[in-house]
Amino acid sequence: MRKSVVIAEDHAFTAAGLCAALGEMGVFDIVGVAANGIEAISLIKQTRPDCAILDLSMPGANGLEVLIEARRWSPATRVAIVTGNPSPQILGQLVEAGVDGIFLKNSAPETICAGIRAIAAGEKVIPAEVAGAVRKAGTGAGLTAREIEVLHAIARGLSNAQIGKALGVSAKTVDSHRTTLMRKMGVHSTASLLVLALRDGLIDI
Amino acid sequence: MRKSVVIAEDHAFTAAGLCAALGEMGVFDIVGVAANGIEAISLIKQTRPDCAILDLSMPGANGLEVLIEARRWSPATRVAIVTGNPSPQILGQLVEAGVDGIFLKNSAPETICAGIRAIAAGEKVIPAEVAGAVRKAGTGAGLTAREIEVLHAIARGLSNAQIGKALGVSAKTVDSHRTTLMRKMGVHSTASLLVLALRDGLIDI
DNA sequence: CGTAATATCAGGTGATCACCCCATTCACGC
DNA sequence: GCGTGAATGGGGTGATCACCTGATATTACG
């Protein structure tokens, strides 16, 4: 029995290559291709496919966000994430969110195709190099969702007062989160905080 | 007359999609596909193609390095660079090195195909958004050497006093440079300054 | 039920930052 | 020679940050 699959990938050529490879396997029906995260979410919501293959970095919503929404609207859909340059933190979040498979764009096509077939069959596929990265992320993480939100706001250049307004809390609360972030990351300045967060993939530009 | 072309792209699916699209156009002979920069250089050296399509980020040697080597060994080869996330600084270097065309991976396939055909015909193709980024890089280069030093020190998380000690000047001087940096970059916080500098490739982690 | 973690906020203090004005020196170009 | 800009710094001010000691409410977990 053929499996329905949707693809989300903002680079048209990559999407085309992926479609071609999956088509040749003869076990997948590609029911839709999205060029950004928003499209991907609504596509999954509408078609409830057996399988979704998502690029990690996309305009609108990234692969992680799409994964979470997919889980909400179509829990039976098996989700694979494809990424070019994986950061440990993000991979950790993906695993935590229950992703079914992770693939690197520079892997051999056969590896990826085989992996996707395995995922469609119900397996979980996490390559060794990714698993290593995730292990490393586990030790460094420990930040709460709220703290990450504050981190993102800081990266946008907002002051405590502005962040407070944006998140609907007092500036003092933001200050608390900021202090906690500093302590957890082991730094004492906004600059170091940002550099570390970028290096660890907690935020991006 | 058909043009010979080589492709360098480390993501197999993207390479496949690109090959397919170029093949369908019926005006190109794909004489080789390289999966990294080193392969790309030796391939160009051997085949001296009419046209080379290079990914910017590749293992071994990046698109810029391949471009420079290509110019040395096969000056007649028209070179197009394809990139996912362009940094103004790098784009500036590409233009300076005399690249024939720049394409963004998330552009429409037709746009890219048309552009490649134009390049093969002898034109130069620099999209508006890229040209804008390059222009901005020109202004970003308006920073002085001393200001860049201070920028790097800030990114290392040092305070004005520490930077002053490190550079052998007073904290007040550092403060002046910092103020000038803020004005030149059009921001009002250390966080924004860092994010902008990172985005523009002025500093990295 | 206890307790641990999280999120919320206040008051306060000293350090630092962002930015203003200003002066000096030095190099480069017209 | 004279203007321009870079690099150097001093003085000063108000905003903001970094961090502290608390307090309270909610949620989660054993």
Spell out the domain ranges in chain B.
3-138, 145-200
Residue B143, nucleotide of least CA–C1' distance:
D6
Select from A84, A83, A85, A90 the least CA-distant residue to A68: A90
Residue B203 has pLDDT above 60, yes or no: yes
Residues of A in contact with B108 (CB under 8 A): 12
Is the pLDDT reported for residue A140 higher than 50?
Answer: no
Under an 8 A CB cutoff, do A14 and B159 touch? no
**Neighbouring-strand partners of residue A29:** A4
Domain A3-138 has CATH 3.40.50.2300: yes
Predicted TM-score of the model (pTM): 0.72
pLDDT at A138: 45
Tell me which of A9, A11, A13 to substitute to probe the interface with B (most B C-beta atoms closer than 10 Å).
Answer: A13
DSSP conformation class of B113: H
Q: Position A90: which residue type?
A: I
pLDDT in tens, A87-115: 766 777 777 778 898 998 888 888 898 99
Residues of chain A whose beta carbon is less than 8 angstroms from a beta carbon of chain B are 10-18, 20-21, 35, 57, 59, 84, 105-109, 112, 154-159, 187-192, 194-195, 198-199, 205
Let me know: does B15 contact B33? Beta carbons within 8 Å. Answer: yes
Give the C-alpha distances (Å, rounded to integers) separating A46 from A62, A168, B75, B139.
Answer: 19, 33, 52, 47
Residue pair A10/B106 in contact (Cβ under 8 Å)? The answer is: yes
Third-level CATH fold of A145-200: Arc Repressor Mutant, subunit A (1.10.10)
Q: Model confidence at A37, in pLDDT bands (50, 70, 90)?
A: confident
Q: What is the mean pLDDT of residues A145-164?
A: 90
